[in-house]
A and B are shown apart, each in its own frame.
Chain A
Amino acid sequence: MTNEDLQNIITGLGTDLEFNTEGSEFLNVIVPKEQLHSICSQLKSHPELKFDYAFCITGMDWVPALGVIYHLNSTELKHEIVVKVMVEDRENPTLDSVHDIWQTADFHELEIFDFFGIKFNNHPKLRRIFLTPEWEGFPLRKDYVDEANMIIK
């Protein structure tokens, strides 16, 4: 299915969706954070979309907003899209978990919580997975400073 066809179907799944293909090989869909879970579950269940394989989930720090990028693939229909979601609040960023849609999100959300501090509602057990529980700050944020361990050029 071409990107235009995908865009036509996905437009009907929610409101205020933004589409973008500039500077990327995939069709990018920017989703308001309130609709993330409902759109993701429709992306998986819609008979013409069937995005069942989330092959990459990336945390991002677009200063000032934080966010998550989901690379999705349909193993049956072979098309691919990228879903992006942003959250403005840096003090207490919260998004809905999608682990009940793609179970791989369970671990990837732990990784994003560990490095970006984004909390996920309904996640089964949110915890530090790589760093120690008492670690302060979130290392992959752009404003993270650790003078002892980081070499900054």
Chain B
Amino acid sequence: MTDQQAQNKIKTEEYFINMGPQHPAANGVLRLILTIDGEIIKNVEPDLGYIHRSIEKMCERDSYQQIVHLTDRMDYLSSHINNEAVCLTVEKGLEIEVSDRVKVIRTIIDELTRIASHCLWWGVMGMDLGALTTYFYAFRDRELINDIFEETCGARLTMNYNVPGGLMFDIHPNFVKRTKDFITHFKTKIPEYDRLLTGNVIFQKRTKGVGILTKEDAISFGVSGPTARGSGFSSDVRKHHPYSAYDRVNFKEILFTEGDTFARYQVRMMELWESVSIIEQLIDNIPEGETKAATKAVIKLPKGEFYQRVETARGELGVYINSTGNKNPYRVKFRSPGFSNLSVLNHISKDVLIGDLVATMASFDFVIPDIDR
């Protein structure tokens, strides 16, 4: 209570409200318990588990091939990248070297997945801030990627195209042509996105200087992905620990130092261009080769611990497998990017308005099954 309020005998009181688990500004079942004073947030306490399925416990029961299928139910917008993370870990354990063809195809589909995920994020971010049109623009283009996936993998969202040792089957004959057509189309659409939303004055006023995350906090809280790169924390796994074909393509790691919501927005928008560039470098030069290395029907990893990380659309996904030499793992841990990114939300949302929290959350790009697992 300020002196002025005390003089006027105005009493204020903190109280709490629930944001979620069903809330239009959280694309999933995330419940935030907000302690507020008027419209000023004093504390944000996430209450998780509304979509917790204990995937880690299920993995201890399943064989290595079966685990792959569980992972696209975590971050469903990066499903191919999640699958790849498990496959790379198993391949590391078995010391299998997959063919160049597999590496290149995996990388192309990774980047298509990233574009699709960033498209959805862009549409939803605009919608969260009241710009409904973005959603339709983004979904129009994302649909084209889903069609490519459907033709090659047989599924639009939970693709299951990776298996330990390679790919389930070869790419569809139309894949190269359709991907090239999409890239040509999409390059004309990113400037359209910028014209529609990036330069909008209302949008800029709602995002610039809002939800500032410093680089030190980003590192300490284990924040990764575009969220961390908006704060200048160079955390791109594709650069620091290259996997698949990322060591043979040229791309920039996008870094901004402002750390606000607009910086995180710009990182993702510029990453669209980098993804397009990676696909262009690879799509004409898919090497010939086998699409699956020979593996035994029952995979047994040697005794030991295996760790593999990949860069999903949301950040660093780590897969830790502890094997005792049996056909199922002793312990599997998924270090999901969303869970660590969420932990910083309370820290940067103290003494801000509820509307600014919505903008900050939109720029974090949460996928709730990724947090809950």
Task: With A104-B343, A130-B372, A153-B61 as known contacts, state yes or no: A54 contacts B222, CB within 8 Å.
Answer: yes
Contact A24 B49 (CB under 8 A): no
A102 CA to B220 CA, complexed, in Å: 5
Which of chain B's residues have a CB closer than 8 A to the CB of A102? 220, 222
Residue-wise interface mask of B (39-73) relative to A, using a CB-CB cutoff of 8 A (1 in contact, 0 not): 00000001111001010110001000000000000
Q: Which residue of A is nearest B347, CB measured?
A: A103
Which residues from 160 to 180 on chain B have a C-beta closer than 8 Å to any C-beta of chain A?
A: none
Task: With A103-B221, A104-B222 as known contacts, state yes or no: A75 contacts B233, CB within 8 Å.
Answer: yes
Q: Which residue of B is nearest A59, CB measured?
A: B333
Which of chain B's residues have a CB closer than 8 A to the CB of A26? 307
The yes or no answer to A29 lying at the interface (CB within 8 A) is no
The yes or no answer to B131 lying at the interface (CB within 8 A) is no
The yes or no answer to B316 lying at the interface (CB within 8 A) is yes
The yes or no answer to A152 lying at the interface (CB within 8 A) is yes
The yes or no answer to B27 lying at the interface (CB within 8 A) is no
Contact B343 A71 (CB under 8 A): no
Task: With A75-B219, A106-B343 as known contacts, state yes or no: A56 contacts B307, CB within 8 Å.
Answer: yes
Minimum Cβ distance to chain A for residue B95 (Å)? 12
The yes or no answer to A58 lying at the interface (CB within 8 A) is yes
Which of A53, A69, A131 lies at the interface centre, i.e. has the most chain B CB atoms within 10 A of its CB? A53
Contact A151 B61 (CB under 8 A): yes
**B219 touches which one: A23, A53, A58, A139 (CB < 8 A)?**
A53
The yes or no answer to A52 lying at the interface (CB within 8 A) is yes
**A107 touches which one: B56, B233, B343 (CB < 8 A)?**
B343
The yes or no answer to B305 lying at the interface (CB within 8 A) is yes
Contact A139 B57 (CB under 8 A): yes
Task: With A104-B340, A107-B339 as known contacts, state yes or no: A24 contacts B220, CB within 8 Å.
Answer: no
Which residues from 82 to 141 on chain A have a C-beta closer than 8 Å to any C-beta of chain B?
A: 102-104, 106-108, 111, 115, 129-132, 139-140
Q: Which residue of A is nearest B216, CB measured?
A: A52
Task: With A55-B309, A56-B333, A130-B372 as known contacts, state yes or no: A103 contacts B220, CB within 8 Å.
Answer: yes
**B320 touches which one: A58, A108, A129 (CB < 8 A)?**
A58
**A140 touches which one: B48, B56, B306, B342 (CB < 8 A)?**
B56
- Identify 30 residue pairs between A and B in the complex whose beta-carbon atoms are under 8 Å apart, listed by A's number: A23-B304, A24-B304, A26-B307, A53-B219, A55-B316, A55-B335, A56-B320, A56-B333, A56-B335, A58-B331, A58-B333, A69-B320, A102-B220, A103-B343, A103-B344, A104-B340, A106-B343, A107-B343, A115-B56, A129-B49, A130-B49, A130-B52, A131-B52, A132-B49, A139-B54, A140-B54, A140-B56, A151-B61, A152-B61, A153-B61
List 8 tightest A-B contacts by C-beta distance, closest first. Answer: A23-B304, A104-B222, A130-B49, A107-B343, A56-B335, A58-B333, A103-B220, A24-B305
* Given A24-B304, A104-B222, A129-B48: 9 more A-B contacts, CB < 8 Å: A55-B335, A56-B335, A58-B320, A69-B320, A103-B344, A104-B221, A108-B339, A129-B49, A153-B61
